[in-house]
């Protein structure tokens, strides 16, 4: 017995991700009344279009298309109409008003959106970099990084590293502990790409107490001891002074606010 469900064809001169997402969003509104979504990618010539329309004629079908090249787009629209097939131009109603408002002609080049995904891959690379060089695990990353964050524990080094990585910035970070001599690499790179992070003793004390509670550790651990925290902060200040790096106090600052300050510093240093 033939399935009478409506099918959706997605036709694109590139991968077709945009049209497929729209088709999925529409389909989900109709429970099981709409059947399969079939995608046709890299449709660049009229012969391919003829084959798709012939296939659509054999079934109950709606076509969603993202074709940007004028001649091919008009041809596809025409043959769909001639064969009484519902075909929806997804980009046309957006491109035309933009053309009128900007006074510019669209490029009409297939796959431009796909080329832009290089930004996405750069972001993934930056995130992987932040994970690899988090917490001083490999000091070799300091020389490769766009920025290196240094500071005592609980000064938001890792959250800031991940936030900045999502902005395509490669970040390494190094915890400062009085008993552990910093890796020599931190003194071999330009102070302009190092940012010191500090916090108020009271805020650190509260944060660390909560951290110990979450870990099920007794709150009288030296990790949250105020005298110990003061000793760590004094040690960090000496390192900051030795490196001559800018220092940001993160107490009462949101991650986004601190990140924007870091980005501003990086931008100024790169001028």
pLDDT of residue 14: 82
pLDDT of residue 1: 35
**Binding-site annotation, residues for ADP:** 151-158
69 domain-assigned: yes
**Binding-site annotation, residues:** 151-158
251 domain-assigned: yes
Quote the domain boundaries for residue 209.
118-269
Q: Give 59-101 pLDDT, tens digit per residue.
A: 889 999 988 888 888 999 999 999 999 999 998 888 888 888 8
Task: Report how far residue 97's alpha carbon sits from residue 105's, in angstroms, rounded to the nearest whole number.
Answer: 11
* Residue after which a domain boundary falls, among 97, 116, 135: 116
The helix (run of H) or strand (run of E) holding residue 165 is helix 157-165
Please tell me whether residues 243 and 133 are part of one structural domain. yes
Question: What CA–CA distances, in Å, run from 1 to 4, 5, 87, 162, 262?
Answer: 9, 12, 27, 54, 64
How large is the average pLDDT for residues 208-226? 85
Domain count, the chain: 2
Examine the pLDDT at 2 and tell me if it is beyond 60.
no
Q: Give 103-115 pLDDT, tens digit per residue.
A: 888 777 665 555 5
Can you say whether the dihedral through the CA atoms of 4, 8, 11, 17 is positive or negative? negative
- CATH code, 12: 3.40.50.2300
Please tell me whether residues 155 and 110 are part of one structural domain. no
Please tell me whether residues 158 and 204 are part of one structural domain. yes
Examine the pLDDT at 19 and tell me if it is beyond 90.
no
1 domain-assigned: no
């Amino acid at each position: 017995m033939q399935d009478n469900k409506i099918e959706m064809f997605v036709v694109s001169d590139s991968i077709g991700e945009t049209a497929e997402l729209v088709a999925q969003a529409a389909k989900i509104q109709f429970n099981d009344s709409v059947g399969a979504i079939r995608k046709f990618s890299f449709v660049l010539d009229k012969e391919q279009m003829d084959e798709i329309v012939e296939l659509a004629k054999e079934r109950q079908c709606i076509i969603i298309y993202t074709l940007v090249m004028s001649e091919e787009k008009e041809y596809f629209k025409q043959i769909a109409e001639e064969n009484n097939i519902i075909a929806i131009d997804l980009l046309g109603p957006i491109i035309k008003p933009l053309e009128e408002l900007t006074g510019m002609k669209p490029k009409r080049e297939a796959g431009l959106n796909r080329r832009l995904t290089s930004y996405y891959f750069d972001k993934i690379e930056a995130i992987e970099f932040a994970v690899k060089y988090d917490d001083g695990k490999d000091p070799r990353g300091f020389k490769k990084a766009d920025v290196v964050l240094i500071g005592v524990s609980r000064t938001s080094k890792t959250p800031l590293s991940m936030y900045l990585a999502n902005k395509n910035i490669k970040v390494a970070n190094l915890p400062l502990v009085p008993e552990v001599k910093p890796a020599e690499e931190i003194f071999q790179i330009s102070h302009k790409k190092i940012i010191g992070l500090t916090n108020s003793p009271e805020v650190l004390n509260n944060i660390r107490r909560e951290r110990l509670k979450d870990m099920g550790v007794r709150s009288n651990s030296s990790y949250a001891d105020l005298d110990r925290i003061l000793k760590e902060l004094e040690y960090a200040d000496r390192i900051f002074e030795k490196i001559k790096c800018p220092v940001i106090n993160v107490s009462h600052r949101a991650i986004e606010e601190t990140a924007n300050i870091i980005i501003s510093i990086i931008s100024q240093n790169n001028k």
